[in-house]
């Protein structure tokens, strides 16, 4: 009989099983319109694709890069972090490029969290709980409330700090709710972290997708936070590069001295061609123009989805401040949302995600994604309305 390592029992949760199941269904369902955004319908900017082609044609796909990432790319990232995020980072010792931002999260938690360590984190949220569990830590979850715009409440964080607290995890803009932490929120969290000598993991991968004049702030730029923050970011969301699998993270060199080697041993180095594409993102002015076009497309689809959902009896949907997700209220139907999402798939032939795929705080909510085509969104709204009216 095979005896697996005890840690394998911590990798799967009810949430992760639900999420993976609905991903599978999205691939296999026939005659079904997906609003999950599993296969985004926006093209990577032309200049980025051309940079990747040139790199392949010149044979660079045969090569590894530096284990921390292409030096040119890290230098460009240091400039970007300084100008856009207010973070000073040494490209040689304080930036590591990874195969997607999830690898950076994994390496960070494996380096910092021991058995018994507590990690304060939002509920619902994507993947964090599983990573904390796998590292042997204890997730201490803060319920995100609709009436607060699904933003973490710093006062609740302060109440949850104990002598075992090691880390506060933040995600802004947030997956799955679309919330964005305001400057005053981050100031209060920073005060708590400094007062209790805590570390902060800040996932900022959706920073380029902000709506209604909302601004992104990096908590590492706040007083006292530079040496205690691990900032995680990537290229997937803002530049329609999901399949390129390229992320990066930055932290004080004392933190990176321990986190960096873990990243090395899980990936050796990030994808060479994707790194060349990412360098074009940061150095070619045309890409930023195309990024604004991507944002306008998401704004158009956001309006279409929010207005359409609010026309369906029993559904209530607010306006997400950032990311490309909608987290809409379906509590009036009085059934677990996993059952409601399954009903919509089987009877309505439309695929949305149950909020409980992201934690118990997602009960009563469904998630849709702006990365779907307008055609899918329009047809999905029609099917959802017809199916829910039959309930």
pLDDT attached to residue 350 = 94
Question: What confidence score (pLDDT) does residue 6 get?
Answer: 83
Q: CB–CB of 302/368 below 8 Å? A: no
Residue that finishes a domain, picked among 284, 316, 343:
284
Name the DSSP class of 322.
B
Which pLDDT score is estimated for 3?
87
Is residue 57 situated within a structural domain?
A: no
The pLDDT tens digits for 333-380 are 999 999 999 999 989 999 999 999 999 999 999 999 999 999 999 999
Write the Ramachandran bin of 213: left for phi over 0, alpha for psi from -120 to 50, otherwise beta: left
Shared domain check, 175 and 96 = yes
Please determine, for residue 315, whether its predicted confidence score (pLDDT) is greater than 90.
yes
User: Is residue 25 predicted with pLDDT exceeding 80?
Assistant: no
27 plus 72 within the same structural domain = no
Q: What percent of the chain has pLDDT over 90?
A: 86
Residue 214 is predicted with a pLDDT of 96
Judged against a pLDDT cut of 80, whether residue 194 lies above it is answered with yes
pTM for the whole structure: 0.94
pLDDT of amino acid 36: 85
CA distance 309 to 303: 10
Q: Could you give the number of structural domains in the chain? A: 2
* CA within 13 Å, CB half, 241: 34
Residues 108 and 208 occupy one common structural domain:
yes
Q: Which tokens sit at 92?
A: 């040689």
Question: Do 85 and 118 fall into the same domain?
Answer: yes
Asked, for residue 33, whether it belongs to a domain, the answer is yes
Higher pLDDT, 83 or 21: 83
Q: Is residue 270 within 8 Å of 95, Cβ to Cβ?
A: no
pLDDT digit string (tens) for 265-297? Answer: 999 999 999 999 999 999 999 999 999 999 999
Looking at per-residue pLDDT, the higher value among 114 and 6 belongs to 114
CA dihedral 61, 43, 317, 219 (to 10 degrees): 40
Asked whether residue 269 falls in the same domain as residue 295, the answer is no
Q: Residue 105: give its domain's CATH number.
A: 3.40.640.10
In this structure, is residue 17 part of a structural domain?
yes
Is residue 54 domain-resident?
no
pLDDT of 62? 83
Which residue range is the domain that position 222 belongs to? 63-284
Beta carbons of 362 and 355 less than 8 angstroms apart = yes
């Amino acid at each position: 009989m095979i005896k697996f390592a005890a840690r394998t029992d911590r990798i799967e949760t009810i949430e992760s099983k639900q999420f993976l199941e609905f991903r599978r269904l999205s691939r296999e369902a026939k005659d079904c319109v997906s609003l999950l955004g599993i296969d985004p319908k926006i093209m990577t900017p032309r200049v980025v694709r051309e940079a990747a082609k040139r790199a392949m044609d010149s044979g660079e796909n045969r090569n590894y890069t530096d284990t921390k990432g292409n030096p040119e790319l890290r230098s460009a990232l240091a400039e970007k972090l300084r100008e856009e995020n207010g973070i000073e980072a040494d490209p040689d010792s304080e930036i590591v490029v990874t195969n997607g931002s999830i690898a950076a999260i994994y390496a960070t938690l494996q380096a910092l969290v021991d058995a018994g360590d507590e990690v304060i984190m939002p509920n619902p949220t994507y993947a964090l709980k599983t990573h904390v569990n796998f590292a042997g830590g204890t997730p201490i979850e803060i319920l995100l409330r609709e009436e607060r715009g699904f933003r973490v409440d710093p006062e609740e964080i302060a109440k949850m700090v104990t002598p075992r607290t090691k880390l506060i995890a933040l995600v802004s803009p947030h997956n799955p709710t679309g919330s964005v932490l305001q400057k005053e929120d981050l100031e209060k969290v920073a005060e708590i972290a400094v007062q209790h000598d805590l570390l902060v993991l800040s996932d900022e991968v959706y920073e380029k997708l902000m709506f209604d004049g909302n601004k992104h702030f990096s908590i590492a730029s706040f007083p006292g936070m530079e040496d205690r923050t691990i900032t995680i970011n990537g290229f997937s969301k803002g530049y329609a590069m999901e399949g390129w699998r390229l992320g990066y993270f930055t932290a004080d060199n004392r933190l990176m001295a321990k986190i960096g080697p873990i990243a090395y041993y899980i990936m050796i180095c990030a994808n060479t061609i994707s790194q060349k594409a990412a360098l074009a993102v940061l150095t070619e002015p045309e890409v930023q123009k195309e990024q604004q076009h991507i944002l306008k497309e998401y704004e158009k689809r956001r309006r279409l989805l929010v207005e359409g959902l609010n026309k369906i009896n029993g559904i209530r949907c607010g306006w997400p401040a950032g990311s490309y997700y909608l987290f809409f209220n379906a509590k009036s139907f009085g059934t677990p949302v996993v059952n409601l999402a399954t009903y919509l798939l089987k009877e309505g032939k439309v695929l949305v995600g149950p909020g409980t795929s992201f934690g118990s705080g997602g009960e009563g909510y469904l998630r849709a994604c702006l990365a779907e085509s307008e055609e899918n969104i329009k047809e999905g709204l029609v099917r959802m309305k017809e199916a829910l009216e039959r309930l």
